[in-house]
Amino acid sequence: MTLPAPAHFDELLTTRVQALAPRALRPGECQTPDGAVCALCHASRLSYAAELEVKQKALAQFAETALEGIRPEPLIPSPQGREYRATTKRKMFRNRRGFALGLIDPDDGGKLRALEVQECVIEPPVHGRIYGLVREFLQSPAGSPLSAQLRHVVLRGGATEQTLVLTAGELSGPVLRSANRLSKLLSARVSSLAGAFLYEDASRGSHYLGTGRAGARPTFRKLFGRSELFLRVLGRPFLFPPFVFSQVNPFLLERMVLSVAELLELDPRGTLFDLYCGYGLFGLSLADRVREVVGIEVSTLSVAAARRNAERQRAGNARFLAGELTAERVGTLFRGLRTSDRVLLDPPRNGAAAGVIEAAAARRPHRVVHIACNIDLLPAELRRWKEAGYRLTRAVPLDMFPGTGTIETLVALQPA
């Protein structure tokens, strides 16, 4: 099959997927109550085995056309290709009939509309059940005050334990009382629900936790239950609040951390600089392989969680700094960098901040690993490294987001 070279990986993948016959769907699976099939991801058309095969072919062609011929290693599959997502969300859409609580479906003109899927196959089934109960409550008189202010409904956690986050325009008395009624209903009917929060989002932004100033502390109320989410990775316990970033696919985390360690070629005499460190997943998982870990992150909640995790794990050689990652900050942080030191970057979806890559490269670290969750942004990030005097030595793709049109990619770089 001869295909034109697309501008984006998802375009190439979609072209290949649409050339295949769609799989048969169970009643309600990937569909709205009126029978409309969800096309937001490829899971409605393909089994995971078929998706992996198509993705590998699309990745090879993308590498030829967009990565200047660099050949990534074989795609590492997700141990669980469906029902894997540990963060899911629904947006509140208001209409003439009242409201719709659904997935976000942009039309050709960019207008957002609700897609009320009954069973999303990349989410744990219990998530769909909880969203159904929330929808029922919002339609009742008791749910009216919350419904009027609700922005998003978010679930964090997998099949065994979940935390609910309701984002609302204000946390007034009526809204809080309505949310408390909902939390009591859910805690009585869903035994795996471990906690619930009401989060204030006055920004009216598109992000499910608002679009406020980076690093600002959120305003929220705990409705019931635990205050933190829990993960165990490579035998290490991690706790973090439900308002900070974490990977949506917990089934690939251990393989991801081990791959990062391999690519970094850690030196026990050196320091690991963990840029965009979050709650300390990578730095603490690798702390016993280096002399010191220094992490930096703009989110004060994430840094506080990383420090608590370090104390819990007795990682006395790890320290975490709160602050925006800028070229100036990196230049200061890397002053006196040694050949035994290593640098890890795990920036957000829109990539490393302006000047960060260039400032890091100017200090000539011996080995760098850059994590790109958006493969379409990878060519631009690699060009920045190349122009700063670095070359790519390995690229390891992981299928962190089954069903979707992107791939998490780990790239190892060293001075050219």
**Residues annotated catalytic, as ranges:** 373
Find, among 358, 350, 351, the residue nearest to 327 by Cα: 358
The rounded distance, in Å, linking the Cα atoms of 193 and 238 is: 19
Beta strands 150-156 and 87-95 are: antiparallel
Q: How far is CA 333 from the centre of its chain?
A: 26
Contact 141, 170 (CB under 8 A): no
Q: Which two tokens stand for residue 110?
A: 């960019």
Beta strands 342-345 and 367-372 are: parallel
Exposure string for 261-294, b = 16+ CB within 10 A, e = fewer: bebbebbeebbbbbbbbbbbbbbbbbbeebebbb
Give me the long-range contacts of 171-180 (CB less than 8 A, separation at least 24): 171/198, 171/200, 171/219, 171/220, 171/221, 172/145, 174/145, 175/145, 175/146, 175/148, 175/149, 176/221, 177/145, 178/142, 178/143, 178/144, 178/145, 178/146, 178/147, 179/146, 179/221, 179/223, 180/223
